[in-house]
């Protein structure tokens, strides 16, 4: 990823996160988005991956890690693109991590043991409990993110 691509991804991530914050009370069946970013990393990361893909970025992976110290007590999902970590929910673990992270090395992510790393479409096309709801809510967040790009 070159510096222009990194800057573009940061811009897209910031807009997408802001779109989620503006829409979080309209998420219906995904009611836990009221507490965004806490507990929303899987759905937020998967929708972000779809958004980045829609914007022309490919080779996006969803990564799920479990806390190394406490075993399975905590888990977290983020994205990887060309060995870059992309995360729009790091602040659920403390404000020091910021709202959006696009980096090649992360103290936060080193705390998690990777237990799953798959192309984002495996998550997007999933049949899990919330996956259909996530796909139905994506257009609303996409539209809001697009509005924010052109403000």
Range 51-65 average pLDDT? 95
pTM of the complete model beyond 0.75: yes
Q: Inform me whether the pLDDT recorded for 5 exceeds 60.
A: yes
Residue range 71-115, pLDDT digits in tens: 557 889 999 999 999 999 999 998 999 999 999 999 999 989 999
Please give the pLDDT value at position 126: 76
Angle at 46 between CA 76 and CA 49, to 5 degrees: 115
**pLDDT score of 15 more than 80:** yes
Q: Examine the pLDDT at 29 and tell me if it is beyond 90.
A: no
Domain locations in the chain?
3-149
Model confidence at 69, in pLDDT bands (50, 70, 90)?
A: low
Neighbouring residues of 25: CB distance < 8 A, sequence distance ≥ 6? 33, 34
pLDDT at 150: 81
With H, G, I as helix, E, B as strand and everything else as coil, classify residue 40: coil
C-alpha torsion sign, points 93, 7, 58, 143: positive
Work out the average pLDDT over 32-47: 90
According to DSSP, residue 2 is labeled: -
Residue where the block lists tokens 């991804």 = 9
Query: What pLDDT, on a 0 to 100 scale, did the predictor assign at position 131?
Result: 73
Tokens of 43: 């759905």
Q: Other C-beta atoms within 10 Å of 108: how many?
A: 20
What mean pLDDT value characterizes the chain?
Answer: 89
Concatenate the DSSP letters of all residues of 54-123 into one string. Answer: HTT---EEEEEEEESSSTTS-EEEEEEETTEEEES-GGGG-GGG-S-EEES--HHHHTEEEEEEEEHHHH
pLDDT, residue 127, reads 66
């Amino acid at each position: 990823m070159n510096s222009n691509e990194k800057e573009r991804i940061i811009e897209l991530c910031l807009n997408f996160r802001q779109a989620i914050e503006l829409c979080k009370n309209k998420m219906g069946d995904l009611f836990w988005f009221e507490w965004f970013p806490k507990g929303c990393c899987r759905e937020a990361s998967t929708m972000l991956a779809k958004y980045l893909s829609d914007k022309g970025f490919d080779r996006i992976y969803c990564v799920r890690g479990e806390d190394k110290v406490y075993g399975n007590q905590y888990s977290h999902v983020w994205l990887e693109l060309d060995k870059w970590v992309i995360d729009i929910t790091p602040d659920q673990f403390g404000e020091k991590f910021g709202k959006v992270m696009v980096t090649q090395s992360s103290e936060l992510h080193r705390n998690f043991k990777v237990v799953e790393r798959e192309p984002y479409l495996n998550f997007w096309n999933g049949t899990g409990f919330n996956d259909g709801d996530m796909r139905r809510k994506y257009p609303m967040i996409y539209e809001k993110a697009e509005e924010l790009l052109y403000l």
